[in-house]
Amino acid sequence: MSSIKDRQRAAARARLEKEMAERAEAARKRRQKQAIIGSAIAVVVIAGVAVWLVSSLGSDDDTKTNAAAPPAGTVACKWIPESGDTGAKVKDVGTPPPNAPNTGTDTLTMSTNLGAITATVDRSKVPCTAAAFEYLASKNFWDNTKCHRLVTEGIKVLQCGDPTATGKGYRDTDGTGGPSFRYAEENLPTSATPAYPEGTLAMAKTQAASSTGSQFFIVYGDTELPPDYTVLGKVTKGMEIVKDVAKAGSDDANQPGDGHPKKEVVIKDLTMAAA
């Protein structure tokens, strides 16, 4: 009897072990399958995220590039707000457009009480300065202003462009006026000798960088200055007017040979037009 029961127990145990083994194998295969499926899903998800990131970043870069890139034939100009905190007399005229043409030549014409003074301006060399002049001219910025400074000793320049140098009392306020924006210097004559030859039309500035505004000077005799001042253009007509003003001398208001011109020069109108 015991032998029969032992055999039955052994058979039952064998069947149980077999079932457990089969279940374990089935469970192992399910886990393996799930792991494979999970890995595949993870790969797909990661790949999808990677594609999305690349596309998104590429799209953002494209957007930034397109936003930053000015149209063909133009350059981007940075107009820095000028509030007058430094003591400057600011005339609020807004700011020029953000992009400026960098091809072509303009003719700058100053109609003065002594006659016309004209100059050529190459936009490829001074796109932002030319754009500033065109913008300010459209605002009649220089109309009825006086050239407020004449230097006859050391350097030879007639300086103009201060909007406060007008009418009665201009001698007390000239030299500090400008527009409500400033911008970086361009076309610096770093390799020229002299740096500012006779006939040069150049921009005045303070000792600080990017402080160019509306004031400019006409060189009526070869002048050595540090090459820090934008060369805007070349006077082609009216140099005799500037030389006659220089011959009359200055009132030495600043120092001997440096002051207001005794022979007044009034800019009635200033225009910029394509040559």
Q: Do 149 and 216 contact (CB within 8 A), yes or no?
A: no
Mean per-residue pLDDT for 41-65? 43
What pLDDT sits at residue 52? 38
Summarize pLDDT for 119-158 with one digit per residue, the tens.
999 999 999 999 999 999 999 999 999 999 999 999 999 9
- Which residue, 175, 216, 224, is CA-closest to 198? 224
pLDDT score recorded for residue 176 = 82
What single string gives the DSSP state of each residue in 183-220? B---S--TT-SSSB-TTEEEE---SSTT-B-S-EEEES
State the Cα–Cα distance between residues 4 and 6, nearest whole angstrom: 5
pLDDT bracket for residue 89 (50, 70, 90): confident
Give me the percent of the chain exceeding a pLDDT of 70.
Answer: 72
Position 271 confidence tier, pLDDT thresholds 50, 70, 90: very high
What is the dihedral angle through the alpha carbons of 189, 193, 199, 202, rounded to the nearest 10 degrees?
20
- Whose CA is closest to 216, among 139, 126, 113? 126
